[in-house]
Structure 1
Amino acid sequence: METDNKLLEKSYLLSIYKLQVESLDLHLGLSTRSALDLADSIGDEVLGSADALERLRRNYTGHVLELRRINIELTCKMIERNMMLEAKETALVEQRARLASVSTQLSNVEAQHRQLEDQVEELSRKNSAVKAEYDTLRERYRCQDLEFRRVAERGLQLLKSIMRMKIEAAEHRNEKNERVRNARVSKELRKATRRPVGIEIEPEEAKAKEQQMAGRAVPEQESREKLWRRGLPSSVKKPTPAESGSGLGQQFIPLTLEPICGLSRSLFDFRLKRGNSASGPSEDHYCCVPSCTAACLPSTVSDHKEAHLSEINAIKFSPTSSMVATGGTDRLIRLWSVAGGHLEHTQTLEGATGGITNLDFDPSGSHVLGASYNNVAQVWRTGNKKCQEILTGHADKVTAAVFRSTRHQAVTGSRDRTVKEWDLCKGACSRTISVLSYCNDLACCDTTIVSGHHDKTIRFWDTRAPSCTQVIPVGGRVTSLSVSHDQMHLLSCSRDNALKVIDLRTHNIQQEFRAEGFQCGSDWTKAVLSPDKSYALVGSADGTLFLWSMETGHLERSLTGVHVSAVNAVAWAPSGMYIGSVDQCKKLVLWR
């Protein structure tokens, strides 16, 4: 670049030099011609006259003026060329400065380029190391996945083996009980053949009084008395009025072996119908459940607690309304005493293998059934913290679990698109119902199982029939089901932000509840009917509780200001005095 600049400067100086030479030659030419002309004039003047001298003087003056004019022009051209030279020198200086700046930028860019190349090489080395580590981890994952599959298959085989062993043990126990029962009956029959047996035959008046008092006797005594009377042979005659009038009106009639055998069979058949063997324990006596004639409308907060370590999914009152159970994703079930409108933690049921999705009390209130994310349902006794029974068999998380009429029967629903009936005496599944859509909630009547599904339908299953008996579309994914105490109406909640009341006698939608601001917060939002079937209650995604009147169909009231997140579930105490609500922010609220 510098060489080019020097060549340009030399070329410029050479052009100026040529221009000066041409100007000098021009002046010299003019001077020579003027001198020649002057000599000629002088010659002429010498030879001629004074006019020639005057002409010579005028010519000289003209030549001088012409030379001055040429000098002025050359001076102007020289000034212009000097100005052009200065401008070009200035431009050259600027170009040199720009060249220096560009050279500096080029050096910086080259340095950055070298630095980026170094970074690329470093990243390439790191990438190679990471890829090698990834290949190693992938190979380890493949090996561990194969091992996991083998362990899962082994676990499934063990589970099947355990279930088979439990079934065999139950059958063996039933056979043993049957042998014991037969031996006991034989022994009693042998004793009966050795001595006469008498039966009291009461007079008609005493019998009438006994019939009047029969309504106050316990059902078990009535059944046994009926079986006792049904076991008498037709050959035994009732005493005549004359016979009953003598003495105290009672007479003993000897029985033969055949009536005793029939009476014994009746007694043992009665116990078997109750679901127990002759040598097994007796049926639990259910506690007295308080009846609700008119539910109280909740208006104020009675108490509230931060009940769990994480989100709470389920809440359920005991049949006596003295206890409430809550279950959450922290794998705990906590029992709270409800006394005087205050919540007091009494017990924590441990051993859940996954987050709790649903809860239910048995009719006696002594057992709690919980569904969990870990594909199982579990049974606890309220006086014992440890789990008593684990119901395995579902292939996906269990979303619903409810007791039926007794604590010996339960029903579960799962996301694996099955509904299972369980015999809790054996701890085994007695029936599996396959459905096209996974189940979100369940409800049970006497002989009917109701299931709510993700495909926006409610299905009815008869426990005595193998197939579905009724399908009702509701317009949204079903999140909860609640049956009234008289088992005549069903309340459903769905993701179309509506509650629907279904008449179980006609299987038609009787009422539909909607309200501005109500939004179903999740696929497991639970709604409930009041014990007297006068109100429908549900929690919204914004933490508000909405209460509708079943009689008018209008929104009765809304409860706000306590929950700050979506309400997952609500429950109404069977006594009608309290309601409970739980949300996603670990809060349990008691209303009255």
Structure 2
Amino acid sequence: MAYQVVEKSAALDTLEAQLQERQSRLEALQVRVAQLQEARGLQARQVEDQRAQNAAQREAYEALRVHTSFQEAALRRLQEEARDLLERLVQGKARAAAERNLRNERRERAHQERVTQELKKAAKRTVSISESPDTFGDDGTKKGSETLTLALATEPEPLDSETCEKWKRPFRSASATSLTLSRCVDVMKGLLDFKKRRGHSVGGVPEQRYQSIPVCMVARLPTWAQDVLDAHLSEVNAVRFGPNSSLLATGGADRRIHLWNVVGGRLKASQTLEGAGGSITSVDFDPSGSQVLAATYNQAAQLWKVGEAQSKQETLSGHTDKVTAAKFKLTKHQAVTGSRDRTVKEWDLGRAYCCRTINVLSYCNDVVCGDHVIISGHNDQKIRFWDSRGPRCTQVIPVQGRVTSLSLSHDQMHLLSCSRDDTLKVIDLRVSNIRQVFRADGFRCGSDWTKAVFRYVHLPVLSTCVPSNPGVGVCSPLSPSPLHGCCSPDRSYALAGSWDGTLYIWDVDTGKLESSLRGPHCAAVNAVAWCHAGSHVVSVDQARKIVLWY
């Protein structure tokens, strides 16, 4: 029993040691539970705070959304009011011009009536013509004074013999009749000049529309590269000739426009236009050649003045994606831009204001403008026609391949399109039908902005080039002459550059490949331009080069 008591005591000691260990662990766990409960309470309080903040932010968002809707409604109302004010202003100016014209016409009629009355009175007036009393004859003797009376009437009366004899006598003094007649002639000239000066209304400025003037020059197809330059710091995307055929502009990915003069078969740098916010995709001159418009990748178009030392640019902002095309209309005060935001916008350049937005349903790669039509080429392989006086699309012509460029003929009867199916198509706008499709072995469209151009080339005929209206420059064959040639639109050509740097020229009338020019280009040709005189061609490529062809 004593042995069992000892064993039981040892077992009891072991159990007591285990109990103390477990009690210490329980205390540690209770402390941990307290800490976790405290952390849980803190997390719960943070969750409540976050919920309160979210609710406050939700309420602020709703308030801002309501305020934004109110602001948008107010903006729409202000835009409508601005349009109404503009219409009323235009109508007021038109009424003021009409009233001013009416007043001028009344004043002119009153002036004409007054002059007519003066002429009638002068015709009925009797004028005395007398010689000086100190008149000496040929023999040196002094003669007496002689008086001659001349009655001015509407119808001449027969003169008797005595009067005829008096008319034969010499006299020195200037006659009052000659003065009166000269004054009448001056008055009539003044009236004619006044009528000529009254050609335009003084109540408003007439819109300037520029028409191209035919140039008496024999054009020919280019055959060789005359000049080669590294034009930009990176690839060149666009090139365009000015109206005078000696000034051209190039734009590239370096965000600059360089102006060049063609002098003696060489390209000479004239001016650099900076300030574009992105890569330049197209350039265009206004009809007078005084402004340059460029489309850029910074969702805007830029407008510069040509020839100014520090040229300031106007920014036409409003697109929400890259602007791929920017063209002037028939006046220098209006322009059209196309963008990848699926819109085409018309601009009033006098106020840098977007006067119309057209939703075109697809990426727009190029636009051209006619008299009353806007033509846009798109990424969905379609060419769309828009009436500039109406809101809807008037016609859609499908083509195979994404449209990269459009070029309108001078007579606005044919449209040239270039597309990514490696073809050029000539569309007859009179019947809205594809007239020709140009292909060539080796020709491939190098990019989505590859530009092709139309060109009418005038062939010489043996006739004298004489202006039909002197000072205007319009040619009309009058008589044969071996010294000069007169321009006649005998051929039209399509020009485009390929991915391998080759230029291809097709005859539009026959549809045959006329020639292919291989030269200094070692990369894809992005754009080409044919001068208005027809004497030279310029091409630009992705390797920074600009080439002048003759």
TM norm structure 1: 0.57
Q: Which residue of 1 aligns with 2:262?
A: 338
1:585 aligns with 2:543: yes
Amino acid of the residue matched to residue 383 of structure 1?
G
Q: Which has the higher contact order (CA 8 A, sep 6+)?
A: 2
- Tell me which residue corresponds to 2:315: 390
Equivalent position of 2:335 in the other structure: 410
In structure 2, the residue matched to 1:445 is 370
SS in 2 for 1:364: coil
Corresponding residue number in structure 2 for 1:509? 434
In the TM superposition, residue 189 of structure 1 has moved relative to its aligned partner by 9.4
**Alignment partners' CA distance in 1, 2:530 and 2:109:** 59
Superimposed CA distance per residue, residues 115-166 of structure 1 (whole angstroms, 9 cap, x where no aligned partner):
xxxxxxxxxxxxxxxxxxxxxxxxxxxxxxx9xxx9xx9xx99x99999999
In 2: Cα distance, 1:362 partner to 1:481 partner: 18
More strand as a share of residues: 2
What is the CA-CA distance between 1:412 and the residue it aligns to? 0.9
2:518 to 551, 560, 564: 560
Counterparts of 1:34-433 in structure 2 under 5 Å? 198=114, 271=200, 278=202, 289-291=213-215, 295-384=219-308, 385-433=310-358
Which residue does 2:505 correspond to in 1?
547
Q: 1:575 to 1:453 in 2, by over 3 A?
A: same
Give the counterpart of 1:537 among 480, 491, 495. 495
CA–CA separation in structure 2 for the residues paired with 1:250 and 1:458: 66
1:162-203: CA deviation from partner (whole Å, max 9, x where unpaired):
9999979978986996798699779979988997755789xx
SS at match of 1:530: strand
Shift, 1:331, TM fit: 1.1
Distance 1:343 1:469 in 2: 43
C-alpha distance 181-591 of structure 1, shift in aligned 2 (>3 A)? same
The alpha-carbon deviation at position 540 of structure 1 amounts to: 0.6
Match of 1:477 among 377, 402, 412: 402
> Which range is displaced more, 279-288 or 409-418?
279-288
Structure 2 CA distance for aligned equivalents of residues 165 and 311 of structure 1:
46
- Alpha-carbon distance in structure 1 between the residues aligned to 2:414 and 2:256: 32
Q: Aligned pair 1:468/2:426, yes or no?
A: no
Answer whether contact 2:97 2:204 (CA < 8 A) is retained. Answer: no
CA contact (8 A) 2:100 2:202 kept: no
1:394 is paired with a residue whose SS is coil
- Residue 187 to residue 541, structure 1, CA distance change in 2 (3 Å): same
Structure 1 residues 465 and 590: alpha-carbon distance in aligned structure 2, compared to 1, 3 A threshold: same
Over residues 406-431 of structure 1, what are the superposed CA-to-partner deviations in whole Å (9 max), with x where a residue is unaligned?
A: 11111111101111111222321222
1:473, CA displacement in angstroms? 1.0
Aligned to 2:383: 458
Per-residue CA deviations over 1:56-88 (Å, capped at 9, x if unaligned) read xxxxxxxxxxxxxxxxxxxxxxxxxxxxxxxxx
Distance across 2 between alignment mates of 1:553 and 1:489: 14
Do the aligned partners of 1:565 and 1:583 also contact (CA within 8 Å) in 2? yes
CA contact (8 A) 2:452 2:495 kept: yes
Task: Determine the C-alpha separation between the residues in 1 that align with 2:507 and 2:383.
Answer: 23
Residue of structure 1 in register with 2:420 after alignment:
495
* Structure 1 residues 545 and 187: CA distance shift in structure 2, 3 A: closer
d(CA) in 2 for partners of 1:199, 1:453: 65
Secondary structure of 1:531's counterpart equals strand
CA contact (8 A) 1:353 1:372 kept: yes
Following TM superposition, by how much is the alpha carbon of 1:312 offset from its aligned partner in structure 2, in angstroms?
A: 0.7
Pick closer, same or farther for the CA change 1:166–1:562 going to 2, 3 Å: farther
Q: Is the 8 A contact 1:288 1:320 kept in 2?
A: no
Distance 1:548 1:280, change over 3 A: same
| Per-residue CA distance 1:519-550 (angstroms, 9 max, x = gap) | 10000000011133521110011111111112
Q: What amino acid does structure 2 have at the position aligned with 1:512? A: V
- Larger deviation: 291-300 or 555-564? 291-300
Report the CA distance shift for 1:175/1:436 in structure 2 as closer, same or farther (over 3 A).
closer
Tell me, which stretches of 5 or more residues in structure 1 are unaligned? 1-145, 202-241, 253-262, 272-276
Q: Is the 8 A contact 2:101 2:202 kept in 1?
A: no
Which whole-Å deviations, capped at 9, do the CAs of 1:469-508 have from their partners, x for residues lacking one?
1111111100001111111111110000000111010110
Q: 1:200 & 1:588 partners in 2: Cα distance?
A: 68
Q: Note if contact 1:378-1:387 (Cα within 8 Å) is conserved in structure 2.
A: no
Which amino acid in 2 is paired with 1:590?
Answer: L
| Residue number among 508, 519, 525 corresponding to 2:450 in the alignment | 525
TM-score, scaled to structure 2: 0.61
Aligned CA distance change for structure 1 residues 292 and 556 (closer, same or farther; 3 Å):
farther
Q: Are residues 192 and 347 of structure 1, via their aligned partners in 2, closer, same or farther at CA, if it must alter by over 3 Å?
A: same
1:587, distance to aligned residue in structure 2 (A):
0.7
Q: Deviations over 1:199-251 (max 9, x none)?
A: 789xxxxxxxxxxxxxxxxxxxxxxxxxxxxxxxxxxxxxxxx899xx98999
Q: Distance in 2 between matches of 1:190 and 1:506?
A: 49
Code of the aligned partner of 1:518: F
Give the RMSD, CA atoms, in angstroms.
4.1
Q: Cα 1:200–1:425, aligned 2, differ >3 Å: closer, same or farther? A: farther
Name the counterpart of 1:100. Answer: none
Task: Tell me, in whole angstroms, the C-alpha distance in 2 between the residues paired with 1:571 and 1:513.
Answer: 18
8 Å Cα contact 2:335-2:346 kept in structure 1: yes
CA gap of 1:347–1:184, structure 2 versus 1, over 3 A, is: same
Please tell me whether Structure 1 or Structure 2 has the larger radius of gyration of its CA atoms. 1
Identify the range of structure 1 (341-350 vs 167-176) with the bigger mean alpha-carbon deviation.
167-176
Question: What is the CA–CA distance in structure 1 between the aligned matches of 2:106 and 2:526, rounded to whole Å?
Answer: 64
Sort the Cα spacing of 1:170 and 1:382 in 2 relative to 1 into closer, same or farther, 3 A.
Answer: farther
Cα distance per residue 1:31-66 (max 9 Å; x no partner): xxxxxxxxxxxxxxxxxxxxxxxxxxxxxxxxxxxx
Amino acid at match of 2:296: S
Task: Give CA-to-partner distance per residue, 1:417-448, whole Å, 9 cap, x none.
Answer: 11111122232122211111111011111111
Q: 8 Å contact 2:497–2:524 — kept in the other structure? A: yes
3-state SS of the aligned residue for 2:261? strand
Does the Cα contact within 8 Å between 1:292 and 1:531 map onto a contact in 2? Answer: no
> Aligned partners of 1:565 and 1:161: how far apart in 2?
53
Q: Structure 1 residues 243, 559: CA separation in 2 closer, same or farther (over 3 Å shift)?
A: farther
Identity %: 55
1:309 and 1:328 map into 2 onto residues whose CA distance is 8
